[in-house]
Chain A
Amino acid sequence: MRHLLDFQGWSRKEVEDLFETARLMQEVLARPVKKVPALQGFTVATVFFEPSTRTRISFELAARRMSADVVSFSAASSSLEKGESYKDTLLTLEAMGVDAYVIRADAAGVPHQATRWVRGAVINGGDGRRAHPTQALLDAFTLLEALGSLEGRKIAIVGDILHSRVARSNAELLPLLGAEVWCAGPPTLLPERLPNVRLTPDLEEALKEADAVMALRLQKERMAAGLLPSLPEYVALYQITEERLRKAKPHAVLLHPGPMNRDVEVEGTLADSERSLVNRQVQNGVAVRMAVLYHLLVGRKA
């Protein structure tokens, strides 16, 4: 793989190989010295045209754990404010010798476009509503850890599916690993169609016999846009509660890509319970991103 933009053209074998590397990276992260020299001499830039905390920090830690140099660009404090274009920003970084770009943008397609401007590896750190592939990878990795295999497993994704790049990337990746994906949410927040997944406004139907439930963050601006009548109504109909989770299989686990609106998408006590893998997702994010950087960068300079 030369870039990581989405999962188009990916095989199950490629995902499994990446996960095998991620498992070995977990071992590195458990050592007293959590650092290896594998990416010494490489420079990774996190280029965030849209704000993010956890994805950026997770990538920066992943790069540093492998001894890469890291530079960080964020739109808020940059020449972008002075009118510089995405392209010129990236070309400036390219001229400074960057080998990999983690790009987040509010517009879909910016990372894809970037592959035409720079020679380095481009990693999509989330673009518009389109894709957030490393989030989906860490979700799938965490699910595999909890469930052993995803073959024939039912995964319910709940919330604002329409605007969610996390849901879209998971809807691409999880079926590739054999899972059956259901997406549930208010009718105003469901897309007309999403390939490979079952869409339903009926939460109960989605949760029934599910092996895992992934709650998505509800963005408050959706209410301002009139897509949701009120927060209490959303909570009443779509919040994942301990009681609702009883519809799922007894071992069913809970995921959330964060940041979580506690007691909105998920009942607070459930978020803190043993069934919640939210912190494990964050932890696995570093190992998975180390594996992505390793697979993209090593062997590239030759």
Chain B
Amino acid sequence: MRFKAVIMGEEEVRRALVRMAHEIVERNKGAEDLVLVGIHTRGIPLAQRLAQLIGGFEGKEVPVGILDITLYRDDLSEIGLQPKVRETRIPFDLNGKSVVLVDDVLYTGRTARAALDALIDLGRPRRIYLAVLVDRGHRELPIRADFVGKNLPTARSEVVKVKLRETDGEDRVELWEKEAPSGAHREGA
């Protein structure tokens, strides 16, 4: 892969998250009954940061859960590799809650669809929002995000890499170009 550009630096990631946190509070009219659920892997630290920001504005602790969508992927019977199942931990009741699903990149929409299925199996939220740091387009399903850090029009041959302090040691969003076209693509990468 060939590196193309830095799309967001540390400060831009911070500002985008502050803005998203404000938007979430505004749309939800406060933090009442609000819970955040991060999708493995990088959705988890993003959800934790958003929760911390919202908690700071509203003076209220916002619960965070983690969700693994591996068992809900719609390509499990076709892929050549066996994806590792990871932990799902929702340590609160989802019934009647406003849930913000958090992920790093929104691409085809298949991860978001799987996450919706998984969440609905875990309880009956009052409503579900979707928050993503980067929306890179190319949806294959009728799904859109409610809160977006940055809209980034991309080509399918490009790859968006989100790096976060907690998982990668730095906050940065990068754009890369795939060397050879490939049929396989995963959301965000």
Interface residues of A (CB under 8 A from B): 20-21, 24-25, 27-28, 31-33, 35-42, 66, 294-295, 298-299, 301-302
Residues 103-144 of B, flagged 1 when their CB comes within 8 A of A and 0 if not, give 000000000000001100111000000000000000000000
Say yes or no for B79: interface residue by CB 8 A criterion. yes
A–B complex contacts, Cβ < 8 Å, 24 sampled: A20-B85, A21-B84, A24-B68, A24-B86, A24-B87, A27-B88, A28-B71, A32-B121, A32-B123, A33-B121, A35-B121, A37-B71, A37-B72, A38-B70, A39-B76, A41-B77, A66-B71, A295-B82, A298-B79, A298-B82, A299-B79, A299-B81, A299-B82, A302-B79
Interface residues of B (CB under 8 A from A): 68, 70-73, 76-89, 117-118, 121-123
Residue from B80, B82, B83, B117 in contact with A37 in the complex, judged by beta carbons closer than 8 Å: B117
Residues on the B chain within 8 Å of A294, using CB = 82, 85
Residues on the B chain within 8 Å of A298, using CB = 76-77, 79, 82-83
Contact between B71 and A38 (Cβ–Cβ < 8 Å)? yes
Residues on the A chain within 8 Å of B78, using CB = 301-302
Contact between A31 and B71 (Cβ–Cβ < 8 Å)? no
Residues on the B chain within 8 Å of A31, using CB = 121-122
Closest chain B CB from A216 CB (angstroms): 33
Contact between A24 and B82 (Cβ–Cβ < 8 Å)? no
Contact between A24 and B79 (Cβ–Cβ < 8 Å)? no
Residues on the A chain within 8 Å of B121, using CB = 31-33, 35-36
Closest 4 CB pairs of A and B: A302-B80, A36-B71, A299-B82, A38-B71
Residues on the B chain within 8 Å of A28, using CB = 71
A32-B123, A40-B77, A301-B77 known; A27+B71 contact, CB < 8 A:
no
Residues on the B chain within 8 Å of A20, using CB = 85
Residue from B68, B80, B117, B118 in contact with A299 in the complex, judged by beta carbons closer than 8 Å: B80
* Distance of A20 Cα from B73 Cα, bound (Å): 19
* Distance of A42 Cα from B122 Cα, bound (Å): 24
Most chain B CB atoms below 10 A, which of A31, A33, A36, A40? A36
Contact between A27 and B77 (Cβ–Cβ < 8 Å)? no
* Distance of A39 Cα from B123 Cα, bound (Å): 22
Contact between A24 and B88 (Cβ–Cβ < 8 Å)? yes
Contact between B77 and A42 (Cβ–Cβ < 8 Å)? yes
Given A24-B88, A298-B82, 4 new contacts (CB under 8 A) = A35-B121, A39-B77, A40-B76, A299-B79
Closest chain A CB from B47 CB (angstroms): 19
A36-B121, A37-B72, A66-B71 known; A21+B85 contact, CB < 8 A:
yes
Closest chain A CB from B45 CB (angstroms): 20
* Distance of A39 Cα from B77 Cα, bound (Å): 7
| Residue of B with least CB distance to A294 | B85
Residue from B70, B79, B87 in contact with A27 in the complex, judged by beta carbons closer than 8 Å: B87
Residue from B71, B76, B122 in contact with A32 in the complex, judged by beta carbons closer than 8 Å: B122
* Distance of A27 Cα from B83 Cα, bound (Å): 17
* Distance of A42 Cα from B77 Cα, bound (Å): 8
| Residue of A with least CB distance to B117 | A37
Closest chain A CB from B93 CB (angstroms): 10
| Residue of A with least CB distance to B86 | A24
* Distance of A32 Cα from B70 Cα, bound (Å): 19
Residues on the A chain within 8 Å of B88, using CB = 24, 27
| Residue of A with least CB distance to B82 | A299
Contact between A24 and B122 (Cβ–Cβ < 8 Å)? no
Residues on the A chain within 8 Å of B87, using CB = 24, 27
Closest chain B CB from A39 CB (angstroms): 8
Closest chain B CB from A247 CB (angstroms): 39
* Distance of A112 Cα from B32 Cα, bound (Å): 59
Residues on the A chain within 8 Å of B68, using CB = 24
* Distance of A28 Cα from B79 Cα, bound (Å): 22
Residues on the B chain within 8 Å of A299, using CB = 79-83
Most chain B CB atoms below 10 A, which of A35, A37, A42? A37
